[in-house]
Amino acid sequence: MPDNWEIGKEAKELDQKSILERIKIEKSSIKKIIGVLLIYCFTMTLFYFFL
């Protein structure tokens, strides 16, 4: 077992980059955000009918 955690490696690497690099998000992430917003609408519809 190694002495150091492997946790947070990518976060540390990202922290070495400029804030502009960290602000940028990939297209695939935007698609996932839209997908999750659709889940929100679906959940609220369920609440509307069942609560």
Partner 1 sequence: MELILFIIILAFLFESMDSMAGMGFGTALSPLLFLFGYSPLQVVPTILISEAITGIIDTFFDHEFKNVQYSFHPLNDATKIALIMSFFGCIAIFASIILGYLAIKFPDFVIKMYVAILVIFMGVSGFIRIKLIKIEQSKRRLKMLIGFSALAGFNKGIGGGGYGPVITLGQIFSGIYEKSATAIVSFAESLVSIVGILTFFLISFAGVVVDLVLLPSIFTGGFIAALLAPYLVRVFPNKIWKYFIPIYAIGIGLFSLLKIIML
List residues binding partner 1 (CB under 8 A).
Answer: 1-12, 14-15, 19, 22-23, 25, 29, 32-33, 36, 40, 43-44, 47-48, 51
* Minimum CB–partner distance for residue 26 and partner 1 (Å): 9
Q: How far is the CB of 49 from partner 1 (least distance, A)?
A: 9
Buried b (16+ CB within 10 A) or exposed e, 8-45: eeeeeeeeeeeeeeeeeeeeeeeeeeeeeeeeeeeeee
Kindly state the smallest distance separating residue 39's Cβ from partner 1, in Å: 8
- Residue 32, amino acid: K
